[in-house]
Each structure stands twice: as C-alpha cells, then as structure tokens.
Amino acid sequence: MAGQDRVKLAIAGLGTVGAGTIALIEAQGDLLADRAGRGVAVTAVSARDRSRDRGVDLSPFAWWDDPVAMAREADCDVVVELIGGSDGVAKAVCEAAIGAGRHVVTANKALIAHHGAALARAAEAGGVSLGFEAAVAGGIPIIKAIREGLAGNRIERVHGILNGTCNYILTEMRETGRPFAEVLEEAQKLGYAEADPSFDVDGVDAAHKLAILASLAFGTEVDFTSVHIEGIRRIAPLDIDFADELGFKIKLLGIAEKTAEGISQRVHPTMVPVDAPIAAVEGVTNAVETVGDFVGATVLQGAGAGAGPTASAVIADVLDVAAGRRAPVFGVPADRLSAPAPLPMARHEGAYYVRLRVIDRPGVIADVTAVLRDHKVSMESIIQRGRDPEEPVDVVMTTHDTSEAAMQHVLAGIDGLDAVVEPPTVIRIDRS
C-alpha cells in the first residue's frame, strides 16, 4: 500500500452515516489528501436496497449485494462497516476484512462492546488496524484522546453524557414541564429517537459506549456484561423540579471508575450540581469528562450523532490508515489487556435522592426515618409539598453518602410501609 497515491475504501452500509461519509470525502478530498499525504477514494459499496436515493452519487463505485464477499474480495485497503448490530452480518464483515488483510473502520458500538477484544486480537495478529472512533460520542474524538492524548496518565475515572436522545428528552422535560412519554414522541418525530427507542431510553446504547471507554481508560478487556444499566423512563417532571430546588440537574450518565477494589461501570439517571461542567450540556449534545493522575480533569463536548459528526469520526480513522499511523486498538496490545475485575453495584458509595408518594397522616415521616435508622442511612434533607389528608402527597429526601446495598434495603423497607402508595423513585447524586 505504501506506494499508492490513495487509500481505497469499501463501505458496508449506506444509511445516514454511510452517505455522510461519501459526501465528506467528495467535499473535502483535497484537504484529506493534504493531511494524510494520500488521497481517499471510495471504490465499492454494499447495502440492502440498491434503488434507494441516498443523496449521493453511487454510480462510480462497484456495487456488492453481499457485504461479506465485498469485505473479502473488493479492490480496497479499508473496509468501513456501518451496518450495525453486535453480531450477524456486521461481525462477519469485520472478520472477513481482517482475515483478508484489510483494515477495518467501524461506527458499531454494540459490536465493539461485545466482541472488541477478539477483533482487536485478530487485527493485531493480522497486522491491520481496527478503528472505532465513530462508535462513541459521534464527532467527539474521545477514543483518540484517551488512547493517545492522555497516554501519559493513569485514568482514574471517565464519565459523561453518552446518549443524545436521553439528554434531549431530559432537557425538554426540564424546559417545558412535559412528561417523558410526550417528549419521547416528539423526539421520534424529529428523528432523534428510533421507532423502538428502547436501546436509547433504557440505557443500553450508553452502556455499550461506556464499556468501550472503560476498556480504553483502564487497559482491561471490554466488559459490557458488568455494566449496571438503568434508563430514564421513570423520571417525572416533578423529579426535575425537585432537582432544581435542590441545586441539581438530572442527566443520564455513564460512569466508570477504577478503585483498589475493582472497576465500577454504571449507567443511570444522576443528579449533578448545576455548576458542574456536564450540567450545562443540553439537547442532543454529548460530553465526556476524564480524570487522569497527571492531567487532572478534561472535558470534551460536541455532537454525539448525525451524518456529519459521525462521518468526521469515520474519516479520522481512515486518515490514520492512509498516513500509516497505528496504535494498539485499546491503547495496549490486545494480548496484554487485563481481565476485568468488576466492582458489584452493591458496593457503590454515594448520596441518594428519594421521592415518596405517601398518605399524609401523623407518624409517616417517623416510620420512614425509622427505616433509615435501622439500616444506618443518614438523611441530609427533606421536602414536603402541600398537606392534604384526602390525597397522597410527595415527600422528597436526600441522604448522606451510603452504600447501594444499604439503600436498597431502605427502599424495600419504605415500599412496605402502609402509607407509601407507590414504589419510591430513587436517583443517585454525583458531586464528583
């Protein structure tokens, strides 16, 4: 490849990102050649529907109905996998490309979260690159930042807003007071959420991305199965109002921390102080904060999805191939990635927000505080809105730092009280 004047791409999957990648190459061809020392050209493409209008001219490219055959046989140096999914065709495309000695670039976070270590071992053994900058946080260059820019640091913590759909929903709920279901429907109409939004709103998408970041940050094999995952379906406008009153905003965060006891990976709604950098990140924007032992805290923020931002990340990996730049896939050689040492969620320590819906009668608060006392959990504050002996009222309390295990015992005890009319809503508080 060294003597060629261009790097040739075969693109599998021509959805928003695939079409965006072709458009970017057409628009920025001279710039890409200047920055890589070689031109970038698409030579082959594959997708399910050949007749669909994608807004770009596909006529110059060889069309392949079978993307796996294309990955093995097309005239290309790099196979760009934009099909999606953790298994099936996407995985077969990447394996075929690596087996044929082609570099691979993918935007597929599910694939890397489930099979990243195995693909990295295969790529490194085959002497080819596996790039996945576009798999996490869209146009934010967080993979390169952790793997290369922060290579002189031991990363202690990485956390962030990793799903733009959830951040948009929570932002709209706070700004308009509308309930989750109504804002979700709007997000679907605007194209921010899929027809089946489960991967987004239930936290799975963010968990895939967090598992990848944790592997890069801590030098471990990707360990998606150990991520604690909660989504945002139970967040109500009332919780957002109480958060504001208490000096917080609610964000769906992915948080990974390395401690002496093990690695904690968790995705859940989180109350963050209003003056925290991540609290100011609104709408569909993503942000990732890392903490290194020498550099301290760094924050990267930007578009987490969309044709342009994601194509930008795809091309960043392509240019590394074109310029001959190569780093170990996960920052250290794949055969030196350590086995993960997951820290169970029950060992998490932190503060909590709890909202109760109770029958307003004498002794209710005393019963609640007795449950807290029995499990050695200390209350920090309590708020009650209104008094109405005829209707249930909302009571909110926050706790001092305690363990997740103790808090789960408290929630079970409170839920069993006669005066509590619905399961408590709990949101973890993070002041880091």
Local mean pLDDT, 10-residue blocks, the chain (432 residues): 74 96 96 95 96 93 97 98 95 98 98 97 97 95 96 97 97 97 95 92 98 97 97 97 97 96 97 96 96 97 92 97 94 93 96 95 92 96 79 94 97 95 96 85
CA 168 to CA 116: how far, in whole Å? 29
Tokens of 380: 């920090």
pLDDT digits (tens, 9 = 90+) for 88-103: 999 999 999 999 999 9
CA 384 to CA 402: how far, in whole Å? 23
DSSP strands (E only) in 21-109: 39-46, 62-64, 78-81, 103-106
Tokens of 114: 């489930």
Predicted confidence at residue 4, as pLDDT, reads 54
Structural domains of the chain, ranges and CATH numbers in brackets: 6-139+324-335 (3.40.50.720), 142-303 (3.30.360.10), 348-429 (3.30.70.260)
**Which pairs count as long-range contacts for 118-127, CB under 8 Å and 24+ apart, including other chains?**
119/94, 119/95, 119/329, 120/328, 120/329, 120/330, 120/334, 120/337, 121/334, 121/335, 122/95, 122/98, 123/98, 123/329, 123/334, 124/328, 124/329, 124/333, 124/334, 124/335, 126/98, 126/99, 126/101, 127/101
Predicted confidence at residue 384, as pLDDT, reads 86
Helix (H) or strand (E) holding 108: none
Average pLDDT of the chain to the nearest whole number: 95
CA distances from 180 to 153, 162, 238, 270, 358 (A): 40, 19, 11, 16, 22
Active site residues: 209
Predicted confidence at residue 88, as pLDDT, reads 94
pTM of the prediction?
Answer: 0.94
